[in-house]
Amino acid sequence: MKAVALADELETELRLPRITKRQSYRCNTQALDPERFFRTSVYIPLLDNELADLKYRFNDDTFDVSEFVLFMPVPAAEYHGIRRQSKSSQADSPVVWIARKARPNKC
C-alpha cells in the first residue's frame, strides 16, 4: 500500500486514533488495524457522499429537461444541416432580399 510505504519512508507509524467510551464529533469504530479504521470512517462515507451527489445531479428530472441529442455527432450534423436549409430559405424571402440590397456585404 502507498500509505504504508510512505509512512515507512517518513519513519512514522500508522496508528489508530484513541478510542473512547463516548464520541461526539467523529466515528468510534471498533477496528483492529488502521486500514480498516480509515476505510470504515473515511473512505466508505466519502464514496456514499459521492454516489448521493451523482444521483442528485443526474436524476430522471434532469434528463427529462435537457436534450442531449444535440450533443451527439450525427444529430448535431443533421441539426446544422437543418439550420443551413432554413437560412437559405430565409435568404430567398423578400425581407432578407431587401436587407441584402441595403447592406450587400453583411448577408
Kindly list the domain boundaries of the chain, sorted by start residue. Answer: 2-57, 67-102
- Residue-wise pLDDT for 46-96, tens only, equals 999 999 988 888 777 666 655 555 555 555 556 555 555 555 554 554 444
Rounded to whole angstroms, the Cα distance separating 54 from 44 reads: 15
Residue 10 φ then ψ, to 5°: -90, 0
Instruction: Show Cβ contacts of residue 67 under 8 Å, excluding neighbours closer than 6 positions.
Output: none
User: Which three cell numbers, joined as nine digits, stand for 71?
Assistant: 450533443
Q: What mean pLDDT value characterizes the chain? A: 69
Looking at residue 24, its pLDDT comes to 67
Q: What is the pTM of this model?
A: 0.45
Q: In one letter, which amino acid is 37?
A: F
Q: Please state, for a pLDDT cut of 70, what percent of the chain lies above it.
A: 49
Q: What is the DSSP letter of 33?
A: S
